[in-house]
Amino acid sequence: MSTLIPLSTNEDRRSFFKGESWNYIGLEAELPNRGDYRQTFVGETSVIVVRDREDSIHVLINRCSHCGAKVCHNAHGNTKVFVCTYHEWAFNLKEDLRGVPFKRYLDPVILYYFDRVCSGRPLKVLDKMCHLVNSNWKLQVENGKDPFHAALLHSFFKNFGIWRSDQETHVELYQSGAHSLLVSTTSFKAQQEADTTPKVRLKASQLIDHQREFEHGTGAIMTVFPNLIFLQQLNCLAMRHVILDGSDACIKEWIFFGYTDEPEALTELRLHQANLLDPAGLVTIDDNEILAVT
């Protein structure tokens, strides 16, 4: 009885092309001039062999550090810079990032709300959190563009007045539809004049205590293609990075931040309100549960 042995196995790839083994990538004579390059492979990994401006030779992984697209498509040539065709991130011949077309990447309306939160004041990181979610990563990004589910899914918002029926919510889309801005605006006067007796009360009122910090809205969600979300909810400021983990799961990485020159009391308030959005938060847990069965 004969056994068919695969010509190439994962063990082969790890041992010969990703392990401690020499691999041929070219001749120095193929790159006589500064800026000359050739594209080749180490196993199945596309690499670029290039002579830089200081006459040194480098071997670069032919992938953009942003989304993993190739930065070089020609077999050989001469260049001063490698540019990713996906989002036009530019890298020098040592693979250092040298340019990102940020101003052209986002719509002015979205940039306005970035400036509102990141207005040039030095930032400080308050906390970092990370958790696994059993849903496709694209559902997590779409969630940040959905203005309807907050009033329907997040009962905490309604019960404690974070969302009110008299507030305005609107969505701004970049012309390509890739980026979005969702803003909720509450009438502060109406909020003060409201005379209600809630059936439930919070023992930790810091969760919903709110200092008016920004104009034009009490909440904003900025979704940046493909997988980055900025959130400002009450006084809580956060970045949510959605990391792929197969087709049916993803990892949500949170960074909560404030400003280095802000009062300590405001920093404490931001940390309390982070309990709305963190992995076990009273809002985030709703999204995680519903998207897991979507």
Domain boundaries, the chain: 20-103, 107-190+206-292
The predicted structure's pLDDT at residue 7: 54
- The gap between the terminal CA atoms of the chain, to the nearest Å, is 48
The answer to whether the bond into 6 is cis (omega within 30° of 0) is: no
Q: Has residue 255 got a pLDDT over 80?
A: yes
pLDDT confidence band for 186 (50 / 70 / 90): low
Burial of 36 (0-12, 13-18, 19+ CB in 10 A): middle
pLDDT confidence band for 1 (50 / 70 / 90): very low
pLDDT confidence band for 194 (50 / 70 / 90): very low
Q: How far apart are CA 118 and CA 73, in angstroms?
A: 37
**DSSP structure class, residue 199:** S
Q: What is the pLDDT of residues 235-250, one digit of tens each?
A: 899 999 998 888 889 9
Kindly report the pTM of this predicted structure.
Answer: 0.57
Q: What is the pLDDT of residues 115-144, one digit of tens each?
A: 666 667 888 999 989 989 998 898 888 888
- State the sign of the Cα–Cα–Cα–Cα dihedral 284, 278, 135, 69: positive
Q: Has residue 291 got a pLDDT over 80?
A: yes
- State the sign of the Cα–Cα–Cα–Cα dihedral 107, 108, 110, 115: positive
Least Cα distance to 224 among 177, 283, 285 occurs for 177
Tell me the average pLDDT across 185-213: 62
Q: Give the CATH fold of the 20-103 domain.
A: Rieske Iron-sulfur Protein (2.102.10)
pLDDT confidence band for 286 (50 / 70 / 90): confident
Higher pLDDT, 75 or 290: 75
Q: Which two tokens stand for residue 141?
A: 């990004």
Q: Which CATH class is domain 107-190+206-292?
A: alpha beta
DSSP 32-93: -STTEEEEEEETTEEEEEEE-TTS-EEEEESS-TTT---S--SSEEE-S-EE-TTT--EE-T
Q: Has residue 151 got a pLDDT over 80?
A: no
Higher pLDDT, 155 or 57: 57
